[in-house]
Chains A and B, each alone.
Chain A
Amino acid sequence: MRTRAPRTDGNLRVMDGNKAAAWGVLLCRPDLLASYPISPQTPLLEQLYKFRAEGRLDAETVEVEGENSALSAAVGAVAAGGRAFTATSSMGLMFMYDAYLYASGQRVPVVMTVATREQCAPHTVSSGQQDIMLVKEGGWIQLITESCQEILDSILVAYRLAEDPTIQLPINVCYDGYYLSHLSEPVRVPTQEAVDRFLAAVGVGKRPVLSTDAPLSFGAFVLGELYAEYRYKHCQAMQRALDLVAALDGEFEAAFGRPWGGSIETYRAEDAEVLLVGTGSACGTLKVAIDRMRAEGLAAGLARIRMFRPFPRRRLAELMRGRRAVGVLDRSVCFGWNAGHLYVDVRATAADLDARIPLVNFVGGLAGADLRRELLEDAVRTTVARGRGEPGPEVVWLGLG
């Protein structure tokens, strides 16, 4: 039995990102919540337990002894036909990595938020995107948000997308630790009725589930060509997700009166000579920097990657086409390429274009280092300069030396 629908007036409330995530989860009516504390996502869990204690959230709660078990319990519940939620960050994500691969390989539509954080060592608990970048090839869909509103909205989209019969994949909804998790903003909380219309109850019969009614082997051993078939179908599902988010965006707007936004958000990009590419909350500052540079006559625009995995390669290539230069902002490091992770993807996407475009990578904001407006204005200027043929290093470490 479900408890009564929580009281939501559809009005604006002021809340931080963790609380916005908690509201998103509450509205999706999960069956099971598995949790292990880690900063900076802990207040999200606390809020969910508060909902549970108040009787607003009718879910099993499993206070596990570690992140590996948190995700595993969620996977078990979904395998048995339920809807489950868990959340983590940084080292916790690393500690569940075997279960992380298990969840995607088994095509388990679980939703997990990641309050993104820098990795140790050196030890730190500060914000960064290194954690999600390290698991980006784990076969999950990854959404990276920019605002508290988008956190809530993305959780609704994530369950819809994950549980779609043509997708059946786990999804990370990522938001920058502290910058979003602890930032209070006005958030419009939709009514339960509106969410219920958008996201149907999880039901038996929609996907194969563990049950003695119709036995199946979950996690079976597979060799050779059959294994390749698993992988092929997994890749196909990832690609279908790119198309489905575009369609879902229309449904989302119809249900809630505002768009969710799709795989890439653009800002002043239509007439831009140079394009900046970034993810997450730093793009807010980047938009301000672009506005200011526009005032100085530099025609810059922004492509913010909202759906990072699967990577929206075709759409980004279209946005890059004809620009004089592209600058990429990264808050993580890809050691093997001596650059940021997003930059590597953008560089690969550039190969889809007929003409060669100068590319430059800005690495900064690691471990909570402040990406001040001035630094990003410099990044825009540098990108424009590269478009005009000025030489310089491929990777610029913002604020370093």
Chain B
Amino acid sequence: MAVGESPVLRDTLTIDFGACPPGCRACEAACARARTVPRVTALDLPAVGFHGAVVCGQCGEPACRDACPTGAIVKGEDGVVRLDEARCVGCGACAIACVWGGVTYDVEAGRAAKCDTCDGRPACVPACPTGALGWLETSSLARRFGRPDPFTPGIGLCPGCAAELAIRLVFRLAGPDTIAFGAPGCAVMLVTGLNGSATTRLPCVTGLMTNTPALMTGVVRQLRRQGRRTRCVAFVGDGTTADVGFQSLSGAVERGEPVLYICYDNEGYMNTGVQRSSTTQRGARTMTTPVGRERQGKAQPAKDVPLLMAFHGAPYVATASVAFLDDFATKLERALAVDDGLAYIHLYSPCHVGWGAPMDSAIEIARRAVETRVFPLWEADHGRLRLTHPVPHPRPIDDFVELMGRFQHLGPAERAALGRAADERYRRIEALGAALGDV
């Protein structure tokens, strides 16, 4: 852990404050059996009609630790704040410092005592008759976000852009033995910095829009030749992927280069000021598909690059969304484990600027894209294809369309057509899943 970083609490006790049965105290009894004096306190107060419990919340920056004169209190790598009773002199400074009721003073032993979560198996929880006490395991996503972030704070994307969220997750999961690849596009400065200032402690490469997979080929082949397992991970846009760099990507997939290629799809050339790309959806307004009397938005449907990649033979292909980061993280971990060819992830990352939406809307748009079936979440792992987030009851297409200016010119019939197209896309994946998935 780096200097200044505090361990992140992984799993935690939860208390439904005030939901205890009167006169119970089962938690205290169980705690006392497991750990001498009870460290959970039953607040069984019939005089005021209150029945609840309090216990240490395992603070991020525990005041009890700072006040301890013997260094007896330590916050562990798992986030749990533990008291080494052999070091405790019973001075009570921790009890003065803690305002949360997290420290018990053991009068008999003349020293402090506090909850250590029974090292992840709290005795009080199964003893609780009503479930007022619970044990919450941190989501796998939070565990994943707990890894070191190789990027500096404050990097230069448009305010509200979700690509930063995605890129931090990607390179946290990829780990320190990784080379980051970018190509000209909105996110490229984020990957490679500007004028001698880097934004990441990872080595990084800015390729051309036409050649990033080929550059990765040369790098990864040379690294493997040197006996290194360094990961090569690209984070590039849809113009680079679907259009001008499509050939280079296709070549790398066909040759089976062992790299991870992530396309963040914001459906257009946003860095140059919002022009259509081949992944722009039908009907969308862009600067090259403007709305006028004769033409209204893009006339063609989006190129389905992930499906092309799956049929191209890439060993691992997945779609992902900035609104479903746990799903994204799981896919990243699978993709990072692939070593028999190119792993491809197509990440839906709305551009609120180019799509005519409020600054705080990117995640909501992305969520609704999945929930309206506009962007199905699926993976194809060595030929086995499956929906990872089935949407049996899609929201109406208007829930998606209404969030953005780029579809505002569409009438009811055209919106309905968009909805039907989304449905068809979803059912195509569903049918492929049935045909190609695990039976």
Contact = CB atoms under 8 A, between A and B. Distances in A.
Contact of A62 (B179, B196, B218): B218
Interface stretch (A212-220, A237-245, A309-317): A212-220
Interface residues of B, number: 44
Contacts of B220: 76
Nearest to B218: A76
Contact of A221 (B202, B206, B248): B206
Most buried by A among B206, B208, B211, B247: B211
Contacts of A44: none
A73 B225 CA distance: 14
Interface stretch (B76-84, B97-105, B187-195): B187-195
Interface string A241-280: 0000000000000000000000000000000000000000
A99 B222 contact: no
B141 interface: no
Given A210-B203, A212-B179, A220-B193, A72 B218 contact: yes
Interface stretch (A78-86, A188-196, A359-367): A78-86
Interface centre among B176, B203, B223, B228 (most CB of A within 10 A): B203
Contacts of B207: 72, 102, 219
B206 A72 contact: no
22 contacts: A32-B221, A60-B222, A64-B255, A68-B247, A69-B214, A69-B217, A72-B211, A72-B217, A72-B248, A76-B218, A77-B222, A79-B205, A79-B219, A82-B222, A99-B208, A210-B179, A215-B198, A217-B192, A217-B205, A221-B188, A222-B194, A222-B195
Given A68-B248, A72-B214, A102-B208, A60 B195 contact: no
Contact of B218 (A68, A74, A217): A74
A60 B205 contact: no
B266 interface: no
Given A69-B248, A219-B205, 7 more contacts: A34-B218, A68-B214, A70-B214, A76-B221, A212-B177, A217-B205, A219-B207
A302 B177 CA distance: 56
B255 to A, nearest CB: 7
Contacts of B195: 220-224, 226
A220 B194 CA distance: 6
Interface residues on A, range: 35 or more
Contact of A73 (B198, B221, B228, B247): B221
B146 to A, nearest CB: 21
A84 B179 CA distance: 20
A31 interface: yes
B13 to A, nearest CB: 39
A76 B223 CA distance: 10
A211 interface: yes
Interface in A92-116: 98-99, 102
A31 B220 CA distance: 12
A345 interface: no
A34 B192 CA distance: 26
A63 B247 CA distance: 13
**Closest 7 A/B residue pairs (Cβ):** A76-B218, A65-B251, A69-B214, A72-B214, A219-B206, A80-B222, A72-B211
Nearest to B250: A65
Contacts of B177: 212
B203 A77 contact: no
A173 interface: no
Contacts of B198: 215, 217, 220
B205 to A, nearest CB: 5
A226 B196 contact: yes
B218 A65 contact: no
B319 interface: no
B314 to A, nearest CB: 15
B190 to A, nearest CB: 11
Nearest to B212: A72
A75 interface: yes
B277 interface: no
B201 A99 contact: no
A73 B194 contact: no
A80 B228 CA distance: 11
A344 B206 CA distance: 36
B185 to A, nearest CB: 12
B203 A217 contact: yes
B208 A98 contact: yes
A112 to B, nearest CB: 13
B349 interface: no
A62 B208 contact: no
B178 interface: yes
A60 B225 CA distance: 8
A84 B192 contact: no
A11 B15 CA distance: 88
A99 B220 CA distance: 18
A215 B196 CA distance: 13
Interface in B7-55: none
Contacts of B202: 212, 215
B254 interface: yes
Given A73-B218, A223-B194, A218 B204 contact: yes
Contacts of A62: 217-218, 221, 255
A212 B218 contact: no
Contact of A215 (B203, B216, B219, B221): B203
Contacts of A72: 207-208, 211, 214-215, 217-218, 248
Contacts of A76: 205, 214-222
Interface string A11-53: 0000000000000000000011010000000000000000000
B230 interface: yes
Interface in B278-302: none
B204 A65 contact: no
Contact of B193 (A65, A68, A74, A221): A221
